Amino acid sequence: MLEPERTRKPVLARHFLERVLQSSLMLPILAVFTALVIGALFIAASSPAVIAAWLNFSQAPLQAFSVTWSTIRNGYAALLEGSFGNPRKILEAFVQMRQTGEARALLEALRPFSESLVIATPYIFAGLAVALSFRGGLFNIGVEGQLFVGGLASVYVGYSMTGLPAYIHLPLALLAGVLAGAVWGAIPGLLKARTGAHEVINTIMMNYIAFRLTDFMLQGPMARPDNLPITPEIRPSAYLVTLFPRPVRLHAGFFLSLLIAVLVYWFLWKTTYGLEIRMVGANARAARYAGVRITRITVLTMALSGALAGLAGANQVLGVDHRMVRAFSTGYGFDSIALALLGNSHPLGVVLAALLFGFLRGGAARMQSVAGVPVEIIRIVQGLVIIFIAAPAIIRSLYHLQPQQHIGAELTQAASGGGQQE
């Protein structure tokens, strides 16, 4: 499709353009962009003002367009401001701090940015969980449930153990979440390896069991003394430390998540087990002939994936909520599927995608309060992103990109558990 342009453009510009269009980042960027454009249509179509303006199209045709445009612009402007903060406010507050030494205004102005990072943190953990399972040729849809049990275990250690110093209590609480998630993930892994039961259905079943378990725990054994369905607050010694004064809530969990991302990269690409996991994901039969014990690797992959998901739950409980409530996760586990795909199941890609989702989610809250657009718009965008990433042909034909050989091929193979089918 670029063929005719080739003769017209100067050599250097053409080269640059092709490099950009062919870079592996282009597809995800265009996918997100297209999803946001379609999201804009939904914002416009569900706004009463826009509908009224269009019903009045014959009288004031220009107004219909301007109302539509301003509705979309207001919505996305609120989204941007909610996710990054207002640049002018930040600048003013910064100047004020330089002059008076008063940091409070600056912290207040930076709060949206920090909130986005706080939201991105569980996304990083959960996205890594899904990505790891993809690399092993398994599809862990059970991240949501593993997140819940991880949260339950962490909160229990967090409030029931007393008198421990922070350097013991916090790791212990994190470990509890990790182990609970690992067990929750290992069960479907074991069933898959031993009986061939598809992990997609079993992880979903484990999700529902985890939700019921949470309901039960919060109403019974772990309920607060006043019998509200909330657990007691955890001891401060189990808090993931916050790094700035209130109202900035950014906590150590964010940096832990970056560290874990590096660890996952190291594990998958620099260790024998990591290699075996990727071998099983790429071609289970070949891996078997190469001497990889499929059963063991399947269980290991699911357990590690569950462990990362459990860490996401522990992070929420120890870093943000400090207690467990029923609506403790707002679909982090499901969104993480989208971001693992978006990040090409690579730790760096997952971190970038998680940051993007964190900013989207952080901004969406403001979009709802200021522009009256329900937060669920983000989920529509996520669904579309999955579809566009999975079917790169759609995006390519939309933007006349040249087909690429490698991107997505390995991923979609791995993502279905395709590697494990025989």
Partner 1 sequence: MTIQSAKGGRRGRKELAMGLLCLTLAALIVLALRPGTDGQLSTFSLTSYRGGMTIKAPDMVMQTSSALLLLAALAALIGTWQLLRGTARIATLLAAVSAIGISAFLIWATRGKSLNLTGMLVSSIVRATPIALAALSGIYSERSGVVNIGIEGMMLTGAFLAAVVASITRNMLAGVLGGIAGGLALAVLHGILSIRFKVEQVISGTGIIILALGLTSYLQRAVLNLRPELNQPGPAMPAVAIPFLGKIPVLGPIVFNQSPIVYALIGLIFVTHIVLYQTRWGLRLRAVGEHPRAADTLGIDVFRTRYACVLISGAIAGLAGAYMSIGSAGRFNEGMTAGKGFLGLAAMIFGNWNPAGSFLGALIFGFFDSWQEKLAILQVGIPSDLLGMTPYIATMLVLAGVVGRARGPAASGQPYDKL
Stretch that binds partner 1, among 22-30, 54-62, 193-201, 295-303 (CB under 8 A): 193-201
Q: Which of 137, 278, 379, 401 binds partner 1 (CB under 8 A)?
A: 379
Build a one-symbol-per-residue string for 333-362: x at contacts with partner 1 by CB under 8 A, - elsewhere. -xx-xx--x---------------------
**Per-position x/- string for 219-238, each x denoting binding to partner 1 as judged by CB under 8 A, each - no binding:** xx------------------
* Site membership for partner 1, residue 421 (CB under 8 A): yes
Nearest to 43 by CA among 82, 86, 78: 78
Q: How far apart are CA 298 and CA 301, in angstroms?
A: 5
Q: Is 418 in the site for partner 1 (CB under 8 A)?
A: yes
* Number of chain positions touching partner 1 (CB under 8 A): 56
328: Cβ contacts below 8 Å, ≥ 6 apart:
148, 151, 214, 313, 316, 317, 321
Helix (H) or strand (E) holding 86: none
Name the one range near partner 1 by CB under 8 A: 98-106, 207-215, 297-305, 306-314.
Answer: 207-215
Contacts of 103 (CB under 8 A, 6+ apart): 97, 245
First to last CA, the chain: 39
Smallest separation, CB 215 to partner 1 (Å): 5
Q: Is 55 in the site for partner 1 (CB under 8 A)?
A: no
Helix, strand, coil % in the chain, rounded to nearest 5: 75, 0, 25
Q: Verify binding: residue 141, partner 1, rule CB under 8 A.
A: yes
Among the listed ranges 71-79, 187-195, 292-300, 348-356, the one in contact with partner 1 (CB under 8 A) is 187-195
Q: Are 287 and 294 in contact (CB under 8 A)?
A: yes
278/379 with CB nearer partner 1: 379
Piece in contact with partner 1 (CB under 8 A), picked from 107-115, 188-196, 267-275, 321-329: 188-196
List the structure tokens of 19: 């490099």
**Which runs of consecutive H residues, i.e. helices, occur in 58-164?**
61-84, 87-100, 104-135, 143-160
Position 46 contacts partner 1 (CB under 8 A): yes
Contacts of 183 (CB under 8 A, 6+ apart): 149, 303, 306
DSSP result, 393-407: HHHHHHHTPPP-SST
Read off the tokens for 167: 């350097």
Using rule CB under 8 A, residue 184 touches partner 1: no
- Which of these ranges, 25-33, 45-53, 62-70, 247-255, lies near partner 1 under the rule CB under 8 A? 45-53
What amino acid occupies position 292? V
Quick one: which of 373, 401, 419, 420 contacts partner 1 (CB under 8 A)? 373
Site for partner 1 in 385-404 (CB under 8 A): 386-387, 390-391, 393-394
* DSSP single-letter state for residue 164: -
CB 274 within 8 A of CB 347: no
Residue with Cβ nearer partner 1 (16 or 208): 208
Task: Please choose, out of 96-104, 146-154, 262-270, 381-389, the segment that lies near partner 1 by the rule CB under 8 A.
Answer: 381-389
> What residue has token string 């992103």?
385
Q: Which residues bind partner 1 (CB under 8 A)?
A: 42, 46-48, 139, 141, 191, 194-198, 200-202, 204-209, 212-213, 215-216, 219-220, 334-335, 337-338, 341, 373-374, 376-384, 386-387, 390-391, 393-394, 412-413, 415-418, 421
